[in-house]
A and B are shown apart, each in its own frame.
Chain A
């Protein structure tokens, strides 16, 4: 099956810092999503981004499908950005999301 690798596994930031999370995948995909898992376990949708670039407030994401990677940018980080960020992809005709292991972000005041 497809391999989804996220880096770094852990990230500690000072409030106000910028950061980049990376997601590499080993096969062609027709869906890529970024999620933030809240402390209660729910996966919150950040971006649906099979290709191209999107921005939503302080967050932005870029997917280069031909090179099989996606980047999530967090600018001016806040303590509320803390949590685990997951990248997930869908391989054509697979009907499932394959998740990376996640990046745990800790933002310190």
Chain B
């Protein structure tokens, strides 16, 4: 079974640009969540989607947005990039049909550098 796939693996963008990151979950998994990891702030939750519906959103500005498609693949978008958006972005998938917590699996991450 293929794991969680994130693309691209690395990105370099200029301040003010926008970027789209993609995440394909494990086959059969319907929940996809996104996390930002920086040295100063650790691992912070961005948002979670299940069956194309956002169920939870972290404390990030509106420049950060996401969506999920009918095949469970998810994208996140960051507009008007700032230097502080440089981070490792991690995507996780799980088979969560109810509130019961299920094991989450992570992709390899996308390392974004804003210059």
Contact = CB atoms under 8 A, between A and B. Distances in A.
Interface in B89-115: 90, 92, 96, 99-109, 111
Contacts of B107: 42
Interface string B19-42: 000000000000101010100001
B43 A86 contact: yes
Contact of A45 (B37, B96, B105): B105
Nearest to B6: A42
**Size bin of chain A's contact surface:** 20 to 34
Given A30-B99, A93-B99, A99 B104 contact: no
Nearest to A43: B106
Chain B residues touching A, range: 20 to 34
B9 to A, nearest CB: 9
A90 B88 contact: no
B33 A45 contact: no
A96 B111 contact: no
A33 B42 contact: no
A29 B37 CA distance: 23
B106 A42 contact: yes
A43 B90 contact: yes
Contact of B108 (A33, A40, A93): A40
Nearest to A35: B106
B64 interface: no
B56 interface: yes
Given A95-B50, A95-B55, A97-B35, A31 B88 contact: no
Contacts of B101: 29-31, 50, 90, 92
Given A31-B102, A95-B31, A41 B50 contact: no
A102 B41 CA distance: 12
Given A97-B43, A97-B92, 7 more contacts: A29-B101, A30-B100, A31-B103, A43-B92, A43-B106, A95-B50, A95-B99
7 contacts: A31-B101, A40-B109, A41-B108, A42-B109, A88-B43, A96-B33, A97-B45
